[in-house]
Amino acid sequence: MPEIRVKGMSCGHCAVAVTKALKSLAGVTDVQVDLAEGRVTYKSTAPIPPEDLARIIKAAGYEVVGGWGIRGGGKGL
């Protein structure tokens, strides 16, 4: 699953806000948020440009700080 690092998440509300924001993007089918690690993984039916992910997360009030990759050591998006 693609993984991104998100700064500013600290509670359940943050996780819901980021999940809702990402699911508003066409093709996103699942979102998992790890608050302790500041990590978000997602599934999508097609590749999503990193700038679209960053834009929607910023609009929700958070900041993408990197991690444009595949969880488990795969190559980046």
CA distance 9 to 7: 6
CA distance 44 to 66: 19
Q: Are 3 and 63 in contact (CB under 8 A)?
A: no
pLDDT digits (tens, 9 = 90+) for 35-50: 999 999 999 999 889 8
Higher-pLDDT residue of 67 and 75 is 67
Burial class (CB in 10 A: 0-12, 13-18, 19+), 33: buried
The candidate with the shortest Cα–Cα distance to 50, out of 3, 17, 1, is 3
What predicted TM-score, i.e. pTM, was given to this entire model? 0.84
Amino acid (one-letter) located at 10 = S
- Is a pLDDT exceeding 50 seen at residue 72? no
